[in-house]
Amino acid sequence: MSSSATAPWKQILLNSISSNSHLKHSIYFQLATVGSNGRPSNRTVVFRGFQDGTDKIQINSDSRSRKIEDLKHCPFAEVCWYFTETWEQFRIHGRVDMIDASNSDPDKLRQREVAWFAGSVRSRLQYLGLTPGLPSLDEQPSNDSLDPSAGPVDAFCLLVLDPEKVDYLNLKSNERLAFSTGRSVNVPDESNQLNLKHMCTKVPLSKL
């Protein structure tokens, strides 16, 4: 979504994050992808904020992980984010842009670098280890093996999810909101502006 328009669901999400901020697990959500075999994969990831001036969600990943292969096959993914304190769920579907060391766009590489330094040294160390998913009997990399001032290592990949559909469910108020984005017919394609449409419906708990 362009920076000129902020989606209404974003403020709802920010309010939910704020209301649940005292819970450490509130920054974790599930990211589902589809592999080349047509089967789904799901994993828990960490919310790394929104890309500046946009509604796009940032996620840090290891470029050697399975989800990267999934996204190369199918660039669409869905987030499922549940807030236990306020009984709210967000399902966010969209296209994922993968920004790794091989990216040729200088602006995207800068975004990747900013995301790298925004993480703690401890979180950066995981990208120096073995390929994710493989068993290891060796000790994990120590802080001495990483220069805190050095830029992103090759294994670091920034994922940027651009939401197309958002489904919000509040189990306390028994309310459901559905948001979708679509290009405005009055705006040239090259302007990359989006026209936001939203639908609000209340769904009985018995039908969920």
Q: pLDDT digit string (tens) for 9-65? A: 999 999 999 999 999 999 999 999 999 999 999 999 999 999 998 999 999 999 999
Give the SS3 label for residue 136: coil
What pTM does this model have? 0.82
Closest CA to 90 of 28, 2, 43, 35: 28
Q: Which residues pair with 2 in a beta bridge?
A: none
Cβ density class 37-56: b for 16+ within 10 Å, e for less: eeeeeeeebebbebbeebbb
pLDDT in tens, 174-206: 999 999 986 433 333 333 333 344 444 455 555
Q: φ and ψ at 124, to 5 degrees? A: -70, -30
- The closest of 51, 63, 55, 59 to 28, measured between CA atoms, is 59
d(CA 180, CA 199): 8
Cα 24 → chain centroid: 17
